[in-house]
Amino acid sequence: MTHPLLRLEGVEKTFGRNQVLRGVDIDVARGQSLVIIGGSGSGKSVMLKTALGLMTPDKGTIFFDGDDVTQATGKAREKMRARIGMLFQSGALFDSLTVWENVAFRLINSEGMRRKDAKERAIETLKKVRLGPDVGALYPAEISGGMQKRVSLARSIISEPDLIFFDEPTTGLDPITADAINDLILEMVRGLGAAAVTITHDMASARKIADEIAMLYEGQIIWRGPAKDVYASGNEYVDQFVNGRAEGPIQPAL
């Protein structure tokens, strides 16, 4: 039997009294595009950060490509991270570096590529996210939010990862820019044959990019199914969320 590319088993994470993840079980197959939906503060970002090893889960196991990486350090951790790209919710571009240096960061600082070659690769990758070479010389503070998301996207795909995490890639963007980002994500994922885990509350975006959709609620995955079934899930929590109703079993977080 082939194993999934990424698999979380019974992952729990608590901050003080705040029990954020209460036993998350989820897996992602190679080349699959999985979208995770869930309310603000439900722990979606924390889930991605535990999967990446930026936070250590209190309980549970994380497998990457069949290996237990829950406590991985040093070389093992680096080997795993070299195969994963991450687009952070805030973009998280290094503001002391120019756009091209951001995009080429992994090549220069982890893989030891020469700056000249790395710059060429960065400019090529920027072209894939529809940004011209002139943008490369600017600093992140000098470009718009939508452009920053695209730069961040370019940075996460430059070394052609097997798995990419997108944390709310379209939040805070106007609908047209958001749709352009969706197209880019689809293009990148299909083009690279990479698996993708995308967090979003944007249902238009979810339906467009997902093969499957899963919902995180109260620290657990309460539903998972093909994207086309999300409006006929038969789950009242999912129904309330995807239709954006204030009335229902989920209390609005006010």
Partner 1 sequence: MQNPIQLIGRATLGLFSEIGRLAVFAGRVKGAALTPRWYGGEILRQMVRIGFYSLPVVGLAAVFIGAALALNIYEGGSRYGAEQFVPSIVVLGITRELGVVITGLMLAGRVSAGIAAEIGAMRVTEQIDALETLSASRYRYLYAPRFIAALITLPVLVALADIIGVMGGWLVSVYGLDFDSTVYLRNTLDFVTTNDILAGLIKAVVFGGVIAIMGCYQGDRSQAGATGVGRAATLSMVGAAVLILAFNYVMSTLFVEIGL
The amino acid occupying position 240 is Q
DSSP-assigned states of every residue in 156-217: HHTT--SEEEEESTTTTS-HHHHHHHHHHHHHHHHHHT-EEEEE-S-HHHHHHH-SEEEEEE
109 binds partner 1, rule: CB under 8 A? yes
The reply to whether 67 sits near partner 1 by the rule CB under 8 A is: no
- Of residues 43 and 53, the one with the C-beta less far from ligand ADP: 43
Among the residue ranges 17-25, 104-112, 201-209, 238-246, the one whose residues contact partner 1 (CB under 8 A): 104-112
- State residue 95 phi and psi, 5-degree precision: -80, -5
Tokens of 118: 């790395």
| Interface with partner 1 (CB under 8 A), residue from 110, 117, 193, 204 | 110
Spatial separation of the C-alpha atoms in residues 156 and 147, rounded to whole Å: 14
User: Which one of the spans 35-43, 58-66, 101-109, 218-226 is the region binding partner 1 (CB under 8 A)?
Assistant: 101-109
Rounded (5°) CA angle 209-45-163: 50
List of E strands, 29-184: 33-37, 59-64, 67-68, 84-87, 163-167
Which residues make up the interface to Mg ion (CB under 5 A)?
A: 45, 89
Distance CA 130, CA 9 (A): 38
For 103, what's the count of Cα atoms within 13 Å in the CB-facing half-sphere? Answer: 34
Give the number of other Cβ atoms within 10 Å of residue 217's Cβ.
Answer: 19
Q: How many residues of this chain bind partner 1 (CB under 8 A)? A: 21
- Residue 141 has a CB neighbour count (10 Å cut-off) of 8
Pick the piece of the chain touching partner 1 (CB under 8 A) from 61-69, 90-98, 194-202, 241-249: 90-98
Residue 13 CB, shortest distance to ligand ADP, in Å, is 8
DSSP structure class, residue 245: -
Binds partner 1 (CB under 8 A): choice among 21, 86, 189, 215:
86
Question: Residue 89 or 177: which CB sits closer to ligand ADP?
Answer: 89
Residue 43 CB, shortest distance to ligand ADP, in Å, is: 4
3-class secondary structure, 50: helix
Residue 46 CA to residue 235 CA, distance in Å, equals: 24
Contact between 117 and partner 1 (CB under 8 A)? no
Please pick, from the candidates 84, 188, 206, 250, the single residue that binds partner 1 as defined by CB under 8 A: 84
Least Cβ distance, residue 65 to partner 1 (angstroms):
16
Q: How far is the CB of 64 from partner 1 (least distance, A)?
A: 13
Which one of ligand ADP, Mg ion, partner 1, none interacts with residue 15, CB within 5 to 8 A by kind? ligand ADP
Question: Is 52 near partner 1 (CB under 8 A)?
Answer: yes
Q: Does 81 bind partner 1 (CB under 8 A)?
A: yes
Is the Cβ of residue 90 or residue 109 nearer to Mg ion in the bound state? 90
Q: Can you give the binding site for partner 1, defined by CB under 8 A?
A: 49, 52, 54, 78, 81-82, 84-86, 88-90, 92-95, 105-106, 109-110, 155
